[in-house]
């Protein structure tokens, strides 16, 4: 059963400007594993914007409650390249309240826009 669906978009250039203007934003939005590629190289702005869009979409799928911490949701990548969500803390607590047992996430970026769709399944 689908408990919630969220979608979000982020303008890549604008998101990059926000990161440049407010360097501590990276630590407020992302955990270490989201900031780097598997080889340790820094992740690009388009990829970070898509991860931010996924976190926004996840919040929408949970009903956009107050008090969720950005770093309590992490976008990871399977060996196949498929994105997945790992949740903990405030996000895991809200998901448990709603009966979420599985997450589905899709990320994309093209033409200057990053987007994400998140489905919370019970």
Token readout for 2 is 């689908």
CB-based contact 98:122 (threshold 8 Å): yes
CA atoms of 34 and 42, how far apart (whole Å):
9
106 with 46: CB under 8 angstroms? no
- Residue 79: what pLDDT? 86
The answer to whether the beta carbons of residues 105 and 50 sit under 8 Å apart is no
Distances (CA, A) of 62 to 65, 77, 87: 7, 22, 12
pLDDT single digits (tens) 23-45: 899 999 999 999 998 778 899 99
Domain 2-121: CATH class, spelled out = alpha beta
User: Hey, which residues does 9 pair with through a beta bridge?
Assistant: 115
Residues 51-61, mean pLDDT to the nearest whole number? 98
Q: Where are the domains of the chain?
A: 2-121
Percent of the chain's residues with pLDDT above 70: 100
Q: What is the mean pLDDT of residues 52-58?
A: 98
């Amino acid at each position: 059963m689908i408990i919630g669906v969220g979608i979000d978009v982020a303008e890549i250039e604008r998101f990059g400007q926000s990161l440049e203007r407010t360097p501590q934003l990276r630590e407020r939005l992302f955990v270490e594993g989201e900031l780097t590629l598997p080889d340790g190289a820094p992740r690009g702005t388009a990829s970070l914007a898509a991860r931010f869009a996924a976190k926004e979409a996840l919040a929408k799928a949970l009903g956009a409650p107050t008090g969720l911490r950005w770093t309590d949701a992490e976008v990871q990548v399977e060996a196949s390249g498929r994105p997945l969500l790992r949740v903990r803390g405030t996000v895991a607590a809200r998901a448990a309240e709603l009966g979420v047992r599985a997450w589905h996430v899709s990320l994309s970026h093209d033409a200057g826009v990053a987007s994400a769709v998140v489905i919370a399944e019970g």
